[in-house]
Homo-oligomer: A and B are copies of this chain.
Amino acid sequence: MSGRREDKVVHLRTRSPELGIHLLAEWYGCPRSETLRRADTLRVVCVQLLRESGLQVVSSLFEQFQPSGVVGTLVLSDAHIAIHTWPDTGFVALDFYACHDTQNSRAAVSRVLAGLREVLRPVWVHTTEVNRGVTESETSEP
């Protein structure tokens, strides 16, 4: 794999802007860093990035798995983040769900993901974007 390969982004279901946005990211080829391996380090990095992006962390839960690997979740006032790391293969599965799909929330999500990407340095990124919730017309009777 080369570092120059372009990211792949898949967009699913464009809906009205008041609905939620969910990014499902797969990051490949992350170097075996302390942040990838250690729950406490990854938690500090995530909380700091969220705060710097103006997002309020209500609480977080990070679990260390043996021999290595982390599962972490962060609850925000109107969002959640979940991250799974596999240091042996350099794979990371990352979720960011924001209940409201606004320009502000999109900008904040982008800042957090860009910051975390700088830290974990994946070689290749695959992102699926899903709008959560469906419009009124879809929930009413046909």
Contact = CB atoms under 8 A, between A and B. Distances in A.
Interface string A64-82: 0100000101010100101
A63 B59 contact: yes
Interface of A: 1-2, 5, 12-13, 20, 22, 24, 26, 28-29, 58-61, 63, 65, 71, 73, 75, 77, 80, 82, 84, 91, 93, 95, 97, 99, 124, 126, 128, 130, 132-134, 138-141
A97 B75 contact: no
Nearest to A72: B75
Given A22-B24, A139-B28, A84 B59 contact: no
Main secondary structure of the interface of A (DSSP, over half): strand
B73 A61 contact: yes
Contact of A63 (B2, B75, B97, B133): B75
Contacts of A139: 1, 28-29, 124
Given A61-B73, A75-B61, A140 B1 contact: yes
Contacts of A13: 128
A141 B73 CA distance: 32
B82 A133 contact: no
